[in-house]
Amino acid sequence: MKVRLKTLNDSEVYNDFTPKCNDCIDGCSSDSLQLKCPIFKDKRRIGKTKNEFGEVFCCTTDKDLIKSSKTFRKEQINRLSGIKQLEKTKERLNLDTKNLIHNLTKTNGHNIQELYALVPQEILTQNLNEQLETIQRIIIKEPLEAAKTFLRIAKNNAAMKTEFSVFSKLFGGDPALHKKRHPVKKVTLNLFHIFFQKFKELNVYVAFDDNEDYLIFDYESIHVSLYHLIDNAVKYVLPGSHFHVHFKKDVSDFSIILNMISLRIESDEKDRLLEEGFSGRIAKLLKRNGDGIGLGRVSKILELNNAELIITGNIKPNKSVKAK
């Protein structure tokens, strides 16, 4: 049985008909009708009906359904009952795709920012020979800064590749994890290097504890999780403050602790920070809420490695800082 499903607001959620069937679908005004298909020249039963979920059009060559209009109508109702779930699945996929595009666009923005910090944008409006000569002079004059810039751009590109991979792990059914031993400090430090320019602009001093431990985890999923945690930190950290990265090892656990002064999180908001699409009141007030991957998604990615995102905060009035 072929089916087309539409919501009550006429939004199509499923259709396995070819365009040449449109005239038959649009012209159908019966909930159950036997006919000879004008395209395939065979006997069929078609029908279009509506209920509180939406509209369904069905077409079948099944002999039992052709014989029984009652059975055919039951099949139509069964298909209609699935509209809500299909609509939710479609919305979920659209949101996931939107998040992926947002994250890739943002990472690409970091690349553009890195490039323009080294090469002024107006240079790229010159003719090709002038561009090459100017960029060569910049590289010769500032070789170390040029090398750092190209390295950060390469790391951003790697982050974009990893973003695709983790998207596939989360939504491709059975996630393929490649867990190996990695030096935890080195992995974390490499990600902070990507945001070096941002922290520098905010005058935020980042300090790392010494650590030589290795952990077994899937590099790509941990990479994306930490990338977006640091990206959130850059957005909410207090300019001119200190950001301290601690490593804590217990008998059965290992913690990476990102300690910073951030925008105030109200006591009634802390438990909602992992909800999809939730932003705190102050973040909304300052227009720092966005359409990013969100802490809820970060938490789900971490769960692939049996890891957990824990958010704690000091919201005592005497310990708060009022930013100017």
pLDDT in tens, the chain (324 residues): 999 999 888 888 889 999 899 999 999 999 999 999 999 999 999 999 998 889 999 999 999 999 999 999 999 998 888 887 777 777 767 777 777 777 788 788 888 888 888 888 888 788 888 889 999 999 999 999 898 888 788 877 877 776 776 677 666 655 677 899 999 999 999 889 878 878 988 999 999 999 999 999 998 889 888 988 898 888 889 999 999 999 999 988 999 999 999 888 777 777 777 776 677 787 777 776 655 556 777 888 888 888 999 888 765 544 444 444
Whether 308 is in a domain gets the answer yes
Give every CB contact of residue 282 below 8 A, 6+ residues apart in sequence.
Answer: 263, 264, 266
CB 217 within 8 A of CB 305: yes
Last-in-domain residue among 61, 81, 101: 81
Residue 39 lies in a domain: yes
Same domain as 197, residue 284: yes
pTM > 0.85: yes or no: no
- For residue 302, give the CATH number of its domain: 3.30.565.10
- Same domain? For 175 and 276 the reply is yes
Q: What is the pLDDT of residue 290?
A: 59
Domain stops at, among 81, 103, 134: 81
Residues 76 and 157 in one domain: no
Number of domains in the chain: 2
- 183 and 77 inside one domain: no
Q: Cα(36)–Cα(33) distance, rounded to whole angstroms? A: 10
Q: How far apart are CA 61 and CA 310, in angstroms?
A: 56
Give a yes or no: residue 92 inside a domain: no
Establish if 106 belongs to a structural domain: no
- Whether residue 47 is found in the same domain as residue 161: no
CA–CA separation, 216 and 239 (whole Å): 34
Q: Residue 237 falls within a domain, yes or no?
A: yes
CA atoms within 13 A on the CB side of 125: 3
Check residue 317 and give its pLDDT. 46
Q: What is the number of other CB atoms lying within 10 angstroms of the CB of residue 97?
A: 12
Task: Please report the pLDDT score of residue 174 as a whole number.
Answer: 57
The residue from 33, 65, 81 where one domain ends is: 81
Residue 114 covered by a domain: no
Determine the structural domain holding residue 41 and report its residue range.
2-81
Are 74 and 186 in a shared domain?
A: no
Considering the domain boundaries, does residue 129 fall inside one? no
Whether 231 maps to a domain, the answer reads yes
Residue 306 and residue 190 share a domain: yes
How far is the C-alpha of 278 from the C-alpha of 294, rounded, in Å? 8
Residues 33 and 158 occupy one common structural domain: no
Bridge partners (DSSP) listed for residue 179: 218
Same domain? For 197 and 294 the reply is yes
Question: Within this chain, do residues 157 and 292 fall inside the same structural domain, yes or no?
Answer: yes
